[in-house]
Every structure is written in structure tokens, then in C-alpha cells.
Structure 1
């Protein structure tokens, strides 16, 4: 049996009662920690809270060689913990497909997701979001422009864009850096950069940071520690504008 358990957004208080009971009863517990991370806790705290060993998975352990996970799940009850909601990432959907193909029963215990939290914190209506994108850290000889092209395509359809920011082993992209990168992408592609952004930091914590404004304004805003995420709004509905004025300093 393989169960995907969402941890929610920020710390161990976000896991559901159902998810906690599942972890407590598991024979083996794995943590996928490269697509998202809970900044309000760490692995030792998880092990103390769950009273279980938590084995941390690298990208290749899930995407290329998940044999250890599948072998354990074929023999007993296995939990794969994920930040946010388990099936937001296609990586987890692929692992579930592999398990099902191997005859292993699977299930999902959902949790809060950044995709819904952004709507709640910003007031941007969830049904008005188009395709999302991710801004990666540039590397030598590699500077993709697909994110700004996605934003431009959404804006042409009057749709908001959720912009995920890169997470590496010990490096987290911040909102000002992401905006600078997007502006450089826009210049490279000959596209007008967005004139309005909404930046959100530490969604799910007791003190999230939310600010809306121009790129110049948000690059000067101190959002504090990660994780950070961006939204690029399309034309604002009057209620969206009022919400941003009230809660995000627009």
C-alpha cells in the first residue's frame, strides 16, 4: 500500500488528522523534499513528531529509480510525505502510476496547497488563473524565457499567472530576484514586462507577507525569509482590487 500524504504549507500543524494517523500506522515513511519544503520544521522535528524514521528522497529516487519505495509498498504500508497537496506535482502522479502498474494499491490524503493559498491571501479569484510557470535560477549558457512568454499569453487572455520560484538544495529564490529575472527575460524576448505583481512569502505561517505593486516597488520590499511565490494579475475585478488594497498595500 502506498499513500501520498500532504503536509500542507508551512509546519507540522498543517497535516490533517487523517494524514497524521496514516503516518503513525506506516511501516516506512519517505519525504519528497525537492519540489517544495516546509520552512517551519525540519526532518529531526518530523521524526520526533511522527515517532518514525523519515527517509529523505532525492529527485532521482522518485523520478528515475523509485525501486526502494515500490518494494517497501509491495510488502507493507508506505507513506510518501510531500509539501502542499500531493498531486500538484506531476512527479508524484508519475510515481502513483508506476505503483499501480506494479499492482500496488495507492491512496491520497490531501492537504492545503499554495495554489489555493495564493488566492486566499491575494484575493485573486482562483478561476481566473491560466497556466502557471516556474522561474529557475539562470545557469551559465542557459537562460530560458518560457516563463515570461507564459505570463504574456495569460495576460492576452485576461488571466492571472501563478509563478513558482526555484528551490535548490540550500538556495531559495526571493521575490526581488525573480522579478529582476523576469524583466531580463522580457527584454530578451522583446515583451513588455508585467506592470503589476503580487508577492507572497511564508504562506501558511502565522505571519505571511503579502504585497502588491510594480516591479520597482516589490524589488524594494523586504518579504523576509522564504518560501516566496509570485502572482502576475490580469485586469483586476473591483473586488480583487479592493482586496489587494486592503491586504496587500496596492
Structure 2
């Protein structure tokens, strides 16, 4: 049996009781933290709670050489991830591989950043469009700095349909954890390159450290990048589309958005 377990949002205590029972009964415990991180804990704390070793898998162990999975043919193996267990397509692919090998699988879900965003911001879940990720700029083969423009296009397409955009921020070994302020500057850079003037006066919502006692939620105009100093990681960005009056009220009262976004009755 291979059991996929989502660990939740922030620290070792976010695992469900069902998940903890499954870990306690497991013969082998594996985890990957390259798709998502639990910023409020350490491997040592996880092992102390589980009372057994946690084997950390690298990207290639999960995506290219998941030989460790073969042990699940005759042992109870658990695979731990931050957030919800099937939030990444990588994990879906891994489950399909297990199925093809005749390995029985089970899912134990955890709290997801996606549902946390809805609650923390007050934005309604059915009003979100396609989500997108903003990567750090990279250097091309010609030595040019390249800022990916796809996130900007996705945001504008969602806005045309009145929909909000959930924007995931890059985690990169060379650059670290992207901040909301950095993401907004990259979006503004694309806007200035195209000589468009829609993003600067667009409301943006930044959320940091969801699931912790130190969670931070801030709403302001995207052009005010300097006002989005949210502290440490992990951070996520939302660019709202058309706001329902309850959503606008929530952003003002719960996230400090400017009063001018409130619609007159």
C-alpha cells in the first residue's frame, strides 16, 4: 500500500489525525518538499512526532527514478507532501505509476493553500479563473535577462471574464522564495514593456505564512509594490477580477484595502 498524505500548511501539527495514524502504522516514510515547504517545522521535528525516520526525496527521485515506490508492493509506505496531497501534477503522475505497477494507493488530504486563500482574503472560490505561477527571471542563451510574460497574459484573460487569479510564486534553489513585492514588480515590468496601463491601479492581495499564528494579509494597488512588505515566506498573490460587494468589504476590513474599492449602494 502506498498512502499519499498531505501535511497541511505550516508546521508538523497541521497533519490530520487520520494522517498521523497512517504514518504511525507505516513501515517506511518518504517525503518531498520541493513542490511545497512547511516553513514552521524541521525534519527533526517531524521525526520526533512520528517516532520514525523520514526519508527525503529529491525531484529526480520522484519524477525520474521512483524506485523507492516498489517497497509498497509488500509494505505500508507513506509519501508526505506539504499542503494537500494531490495539489501537484507530479503527485498525480506518481499515483498513476503506482497503479500501473499494481500497487494499491490511498489518499489522506491536508489543508491546501488554495482553500486557505479563500478564507483569508474573503474572495469567493467560484469566482477564480485559471491559476498561474510567476518564475524568477532567467538569463537566455544570448545573455539577456528574460521575464516571463505568460502570467501577465493569464491575469488579463481572467480579468476580461471578471475572474480572480491565484498566482503562485517561485521557489528556486538559486534565488530562494519569491515575495509578493517581487512578483508585482515583475508584472509591472511586463506592463511597462507593453506600454499598457491597467495593472498599476489594479487591486492586489498578498498573503504570507498561511496556517501560522503570524499570517499576514495585505491588499493594495499593484503599483504600490513597496506596501507589500509581508515578512518571511511562504507568500502567495491574488489579482482580483470584478469584486462582489461582500468581497470588496472583506478586502477593506480584513486586508486593509483602500476604501475606494467599495461600491456605492
Q: Which range, TM-score by smaller chain?
A: over 0.9
- Residue of structure 2 equivalent to 1:22: 22
How far did 1:168 drift?
Answer: 2.1
How far did 1:217 drift?
Answer: 2.9
| Within-5 A mapping of 1:55-74 | 55-68=55-68, 70-74=69-73
Picking from 178, 182, 188, the partner of 1:177 is 182
How far did 1:132 drift?
Answer: 0.3
- Residue of structure 1 equivalent to 2:104: 105
- Structure having the higher Rg: 2
- Residue of structure 1 equivalent to 2:230: 223
CA distance in 1: counterparts of 2:23 and 2:204, whole angstroms: 38
Secondary structure of the residue that 2:224 maps to in structure 1?
helix
RCO (CA 8 Å, sep 6+): is it higher in 1 or 2? 1
| Within-5 A mapping of 1:1-250 | 1-68=1-68, 70-141=69-140, 142-169=146-173, 171-189=176-194, 191=196, 192-193=198-199, 195-250=202-257
TM-score (norm 1): 0.96
Residues 43, 54 of structure 2: 8 Å contact kept? yes
**What 5-or-longer segments of structure 2 have no aligned partner?**
141-145, 258-265
CA distance in 1: counterparts of 2:159 and 2:195, whole angstroms: 15
Q: Cα deviations across residues 153-191 of structure 1 (Å, max 9, x unaligned)?
A: 100110000000011237100111111111122334555
Distance 1:99 1:219, change over 3 A: same
**Superposition CA RMSD, Å:** 1.3
**What 5-or-longer segments of structure 1 have no aligned partner?**
none
How far did 1:49 drift?
Answer: 1.2
How far did 1:84 drift?
Answer: 0.5
TM-score (norm 2): 0.90
CA distance in 1: counterparts of 2:156 and 2:195, whole angstroms: 11
Q: Which 4+ residue blocks in structure 1 deviate beyond 6 angstroms?
A: none
Q: Cα deviations across residues 80-133 of structure 1 (Å, max 9, x unaligned)?
A: 101100111101000000000100000100011000000000000000101000
